[in-house]
Amino acid sequence: SQQGEEDPQALSIQEGENATMNCSYKTSINNLQWYRQNSGRGLVHLILIRSNEREKHSGRLRVTLDTSKKSSSLLITASRAADTASYFCATKTSGSRLTFGEGTQLTVNP
Amino acid sequence: GAGVSQSPSNKVTEKGKDVELRCDPISGHTALYWYRQSLGQGLEFLIYFQGNSAPDKSGLPSDRFSAERTGGSVSTLTIQRTQQEDSAVYLCASSGPSGTGAYNEQFFGPGTRLTVL
């Protein structure tokens, strides 16, 4: 199975609500990254959290990392319709490869 | 260019034909990656190039798939004798020199949507 697994697979919320997506992984990592994808095309890097960090913020994004549980969460606060997209976590081990999860499809309803 | 570019954006081919997909990474980026994404799925790693080192080909699904990177810049992914299961979006990404902050983040191109009839 994939190194990174997100849940839920799909999430539908109303504009203004917070959205939380989770990611679990299996092996030790160097860092964990979250990406966003619109319309099945190129991915855009959102945020990176290193293995020695526990929480990181960027604008309306908050990422947490629990290496003991091998899990991470991405919180989007005060969601907007424009946040509708697929969100992927990706883990980086000692090599340079990123291993992506299956993604969470977020729909924010106006 | 300002970002990673890929061509063509869409490719429709017949089963059994060969196809070539092209990726132009961000200038100065030493690492280049190819991924495949089937409809509604995550990204499947295919191959990775880093500078002049031997590429990591461990993700290529069969010997029908090959890739090269000329002059440390442009890369071409070739699929020979295409099959219907090869239909997917093929994404290319590049990242900056090892040891820099940019090395951790991958910049993606818009992808090539391949349809094998």
- pLDDT tens digits for B52-92? 888 999 999 999 999 999 887 999 999 999 999 999 999 99
- Indicate yes or no: CB of B42 within 8 angstroms of CB of A101: yes
Q: Counting beta carbons within 10 angstroms of the beta carbon of residue B55, is it exposed (0 to 12), middle (13 to 18) or buried (19 or more)?
A: middle
Q: Which residues of A touch B108 (CB under 8 A)?
A: 35, 42-44
User: Position of tokens 């820099």?
Assistant: B100
Among the listed residues B52, B81, B84, B50, the one whose alpha carbon sits nearest the alpha carbon of residue B66? B81
Interface subset of A 47-86, CB within 8 angstroms of B: 48
CB distance A103–B104 less than 8 Å? no
If you compute the radius of gyration of chain A from its CA atoms, what whole number of angstroms results?
Answer: 13
A48·B104 Cβ contact <8 A? yes
Residue A16 in this model has a pLDDT that exceeds 90: yes
- CB within 8 Å: B111 and A48: no
pLDDT at site A58: 95
Total beta-carbon pairs less than 8 A apart between chain A and chain B? 58
For CA atoms A75, A94, B40, B3, the dihedral sign is positive
Strand A98-100 to A85-92 pairing: antiparallel
* Beta carbons of A22 and A73 less than 8 angstroms apart: yes
Nearest to B106 by CA among B38, B33, B45, B23: B33
- Give tens-digit pLDDT for A20-79: 999 999 989 999 999 999 976 789 999 999 999 999 999 999 999 999 999 999 999 999
* Beta pairing partners, B65: B79
Position A12 scores a pLDDT of 95
Cβ A4 vs Cβ A26: under 8 Å: no
Distance from CA of A32 to the nearest CA of B (A): 10
Q: Is A94 helix (H, G, I), strand (E, B) or coil?
A: coil
CB contact under 8 Å between B108 and A99, yes or no, is: no
The confidence score (pLDDT) of residue B51 equals 85
In this predicted structure, the answer to whether residue A4 has a pLDDT above a threshold of 70 is: no
CB atoms within 10 A of CB A13: 17
Which residues have a Cβ under 8 Å from the Cβ of B27 and sit 6 or more positions away? B1, B73
Percent of chain B with pLDDT over 70: 94
pLDDT at B74: 95
